[in-house]
Amino acid sequence: MMFIRAYVFFLGVLATLFLGWAALTFIPGIQIKEVKPLPGLKPYTEQELRGRAIYIREGCVYCHSQQTRPDGFGVDQRRGWGRPSVPGDYVYDRPHLLGTMRTGPDLFNIGARQPSEDWHLIHLYNPRATSPGSIMPPYPWLFEEAEEAPEEFYRMQGKRVVPVPEQFRPEGKVVIATQEALDLVAYLLSLNHTYPVKAEKR
Amino acid sequence: MSDKKTDSRWRFRPEEEKHDIYSLHRQALREPPEPQEGLEPPPWWLWVISVLLIFWAGFYLGRYGGVFGPYVHVLEEGRRTERETALVPKEPETTVSGAEVYARVCAACHQPNGQGVPGVFPPLAGSEWVLKDPETPILIVLHGLQGPIEVKGTVYNNVMPEWGSKLSNEEIAAVLTYVRNSWGNQTAEITPDMVEKVRKETQERKTHWTQEELLKLKK
Amino acid sequence: MKSDHSIPGTEEAPELSYRILSDTSSSAPVIVFFTSAVVWLLVGTVFGLIASFKFNFPDWLGNIPALTFGRVRPAHLNSVIYGWASLGIAGLYVWLTARLCQTEVHWRRLLYISAILWNAGVLYGVVSILGGHSQGIEWLEFPKGAQTLIAMASVLLSLSILRTFYGRRVKHIYVSLWYILASVIWFPILYVIANLPFYSGVTQAAVNWWYAHNILTVWVTPAGLAAAYYFIPKVIGRPIHSYYLSLLGFWSFALFYNWNGIHHLIGGPLPTWLISVSIVASVLMFIPVITVAINHHLTMVGHFGKLRYSPTLRFVVFGAMCYTAVSFQGSIQALRSFNEITHFTHYTVGHAHLGLYAFFTMSIFGAIYYIMPRLTKWEWPYPVLIKFHFWLVALGITLYVISMTVGGFIQGLYMNDPSRPFMDSVQVTKPYLMARSIAGVVILIGHLFFIYLFYLMIKRKGVKRLTPPWYEKAEEYAR
């Protein structure tokens, strides 16, 4: 009768998993470990890390990638999303946020492409205020509403009034960014990988 | 883990069964026997497909294996020795499309239809700043703009970033020509040479313009 | 072989008494697993539907942080994978192992503990995600605590199944059991390795997608295949076509499938050879898939008429066909030239649902339709509802996959056309996203029928029937 000896079977099963693990994660892990952070890459500041945690909390990664492909494979560069990304760009990323969906545009260089803080704040408060037709959800809980008053009044208290267009904010109210919103925008603005890549020589 | 006691609880004890055995286990008893395996040989063409696929795999890994080093984006270069070139962005294309630059740089704020966002980002369609003379829009794009500015009778108060370090003369010329000839705008073209000239003249400038400065420059 | 349990009338066929023995002993734990799986199915479907409608109406529920898209989507994924799929798989494995080993289920207490830990882990994890405590790594969003609970639960499940296997009364190990044994060994190891806290940057991305794809390799696909390998020959009452094909199919599957993961990062910042290796492994998946397809088809051939009267066969064969389809699609999708278009689009979402729903979930439905009457000694009370269930989910998932595939492909073409603004690639998907939401509603209605039937089964309510659904048709067919 044909039957596989059980222990041969179990060894085989363990071996296949081990092979895949070694080839796909262990060996590349060792190869990539040798990669140093690129000279132009700055570690995240405290505030940017707080913003990054909000990026993770709100699940931005499910619609936005942070990886750009080389010319000849997609048109990322012609869209102005920046040079192809390399392992040295991600050394400070933990967890990684490469993303695999582009329901919205790539954000690898959003800080360079859209450096306006106001734009980001308005966009987070209601994406359709800056980008008509967008299907991005709004994040009103990153903002506070306050009685309408001249901007100076709030600026004196150290508050940041967001210039949301009138038809997108509650009547007679102004929108004030919370610290969380400012942190998130600080993180987005830090996504600037326009520095050059020195060719890695062997 | 001693499960003896539990097991005996579950072990089937016919003497305790009050019901007719067949009706109680109707579902299990009506089944066909447990499945067996036949001994037909695999079809010959399955082997052919498998061997062909494995050959293809070898070829593909040789072609796109990137010598199994830590190199990324080694696509077209294949086995070329100067693999590193793949990391360096290619030369920008010689012909620049103004519409493309507009879509990627300007449209986020000024909107694809050039109307801006009411009260926040000023329109470009019909804007006196875009249309009045060629130098003003070049200055604004090169160095950015800050503070209150009146466009078509409305005051906007916001910051426009500088794009001089990020866009080439060709790109600025193309996008401004596009802006000055779209959505009902119709004015003269702007050439890369004009941008180059303005860039040279103002190369010491490191800050954004304000409305007053621009008005002073162009009386 | 001689029976050591004397059931009157089975002296000549010891297999019958073993069958009753294994069903009796597996009944309670399997019902626990299946019931909690079905609860998570409902939860997962509702989350999926909310996420889908958020694409159509982005401001809907826009004020509730817990229900923002970026939290509901992982809640959906995790509750269907770790809730519905995993608990369904656990039930299937426990029942099938006992059956195929012709023995009782050993170490049953471990199974109850496993079920409790598993449910607690998923509940804790899903609530954490909604509360904003996600780890931010796709497929591994659960916080460490929830992951520990699930890891412990999966080890307990594996121990019980391996112990049952050790107590087997059969000499020959049937092919379904290969998949089950491999699966219960792979899954805990994989889950623990992927959750080790050593990784960062690009390496973490590699581990992430190696893991995410391997959930299918080690857990979901073996379960679907074990079900197909068991129920197709079982229901039609003839042997599986070829042992050699089973052998080739299993080992090529084990060898190639867990090298696939990095095809999720084609074009990304990973060593080119790594991506190429995954592409090659994905294409080599043609070998196990064609092998399994031949094996199943040649077993079925001449018996397709039986699809009319066996709900189990109907669901399982639908699943097996979709397995072939989704695997072919996956192999082609991994090629660079094709991936350039479909990467980053909804096409991938369609592919995932073709695999996880049309193949896996349908197979598990089929298995539940077969297993439940044997555990509760009650026939499915309303065959017409089974019919509704089948057609609603079959049509729903077909609409889902078609709309996502077509919509995603067009989205990819638009994205790769630099003369179009990016926003065009969003606008063009809108009607397809709406079709997807409608498909989701249809599927949810199908699930409600199923859940109602399932409830009647565990409560032994509804019409008392002495014959399985469509028994009359079966008689007719036999004539």
Could you tell me the CATH number of the domain that includes residue A131?
A: 1.10.760.10
DSSP line for C319-330: HHHHHHHHHHHH
Evaluate if residue A196 carries a pLDDT over 90.
no
Q: How many domains does chain A have?
A: 2
What is the pLDDT at residue C115? 97
CATH number for the domain harbouring residue C26: 1.20.120
A132-182 per-position pLDDT tens digit = 899 999 999 999 999 988 878 888 888 899 988 888 988 889 999 999 999
Lowest mean pLDDT among A41-55, A95-109, A147-161, C210-224: A147-161
Residues 36-95 of B with CB under 8 A from C: 36-43, 46, 49-50, 53-54, 56-57, 60-61, 64-75
Q: State whether A115 and B100 contact (CB < 8 Å).
A: no
Q: State whether B75 and C269 contact (CB < 8 Å).
A: no
Evaluate if residue C127 carries a pLDDT over 50.
yes
Residues of A in contact with C201 (CB under 8 A): 32, 87, 90-94, 96
Examine residue A1 and state whether it is found in any structural domain, yes or no.
no
Measured CA to CA, the distance from residue C421 to residue B105 in angstroms comes to: 11
Is the C-alpha dihedral spanning C121, C123, C125, C128 positive or negative? negative
Evaluate if residue C255 carries a pLDDT over 80.
yes
Both B105 and B212 in one domain: the answer is: yes
Give the residue on A whose Cα is nearest the Cα of C420.
A79
Examine residue B67 and state whether it is found in any structural domain, yes or no.
yes
For residue C136, give its domain range: 12-171
Q: How many domains does chain C have?
A: 2
Examine residue C47 and state whether it is found in any structural domain, yes or no.
yes
Minimal CA–CA distance to B123: which of B152, B160, B162? B152
Both A66 and A109 in one domain: the answer is: yes
What is the pLDDT at residue C431? 97
Q: State whether C59 and A138 contact (CB < 8 Å).
A: yes
What is the pLDDT at residue A5? 76
Q: State whether C258 and A13 contact (CB < 8 Å).
A: no
Among all chains, which residue has been given the structure tokens 């509603």? C441
Q: How far is C123 from chain B (nearest CA, A)?
A: 28
Both C251 and C394 in one domain: the answer is: yes
For residue B66, give its domain range: 44-87
Choosing from C153, C171, C189, the residue where a domain stops is C171
Evaluate if residue C1 carries a pLDDT over 60.
no
Residues C431-441 have a mean pLDDT of: 97
What is the pLDDT at residue C10? 53
At C177, list the tokens. 């059991």
Both C71 and C164 in one domain: the answer is: yes
Both B116 and B199 in one domain: the answer is: yes
Residues of C in contact with B49 (CB under 8 A): 286-287, 290
Q: Are C266 and C334 in contact (CB under 8 A)?
A: yes
Lowest mean pLDDT among B74-78, C79-83, C168-172, C302-306: B74-78
Residues C211-238 have a mean pLDDT of: 94
C383-408 per-position pLDDT tens digit = 999 999 999 999 999 999 999 999 99
Evaluate if residue A199 carries a pLDDT over 60.
no
Examine residue B175 and state whether it is found in any structural domain, yes or no.
yes
B104: nearest CB among A80, A84, A199: A80
Residue B32's CB is within 10 A of a number of other CB atoms, namely 11
Both A58 and A137 in one domain: the answer is: yes
Both A97 and A79 in one domain: the answer is: yes
What is the pLDDT at residue B96? 77
The answer to whether C377 faces chain B, any CB pair under 8 Å, is: yes
Choosing from C155, C171, C187, the residue where a domain stops is C171
C9: nearest CB among B12, B21, B61: B21
What is the pLDDT at residue B29? 76
Examine residue B16 and state whether it is found in any structural domain, yes or no.
no
Minimal CA–CA distance to B20: which of C298, C377, C249, A172? C377
Higher pLDDT, B78 or C99: C99
C181-207 per-position pLDDT tens digit = 999 999 999 999 999 888 888 999 999
C136: nearest CB among A24, A56, A91: A56
Examine residue C188 and state whether it is found in any structural domain, yes or no.
no
For residue A13, give its domain range: 9-37
Examine residue A200 and state whether it is found in any structural domain, yes or no.
no
Higher pLDDT, B99 or C35: C35
Q: How far is C158 from chain A (nearest CA, A)?
A: 13
What values do phi and psi take at C240, rounded to 5? -65, 145
Give B101's pLDDT tier (boundaries 50, 70, 90).
Answer: confident
Contacts of C348 (CB under 8 A, 6+ apart): A100, A101, C333, C342, C408
Examine residue C206 and state whether it is found in any structural domain, yes or no.
yes
Evaluate if residue A44 carries a pLDDT over 80.
yes
Both A105 and A168 in one domain: the answer is: yes
B42: nearest CB among C16, C248, C286: C248
What is the pLDDT at residue B93? 52
Evaluate if residue A201 carries a pLDDT over 90.
no
B97: nearest CB among C21, C176, C419: C419
B112-170 per-position pLDDT tens digit = 888 888 888 899 998 888 887 888 899 899 998 888 888 888 888 888 888 888 888 88
What is the pLDDT at residue B94? 57
Measured CA to CA, the distance from residue C97 to residue A183 in angstroms comes to: 53
Residues C13-32 have a mean pLDDT of: 88
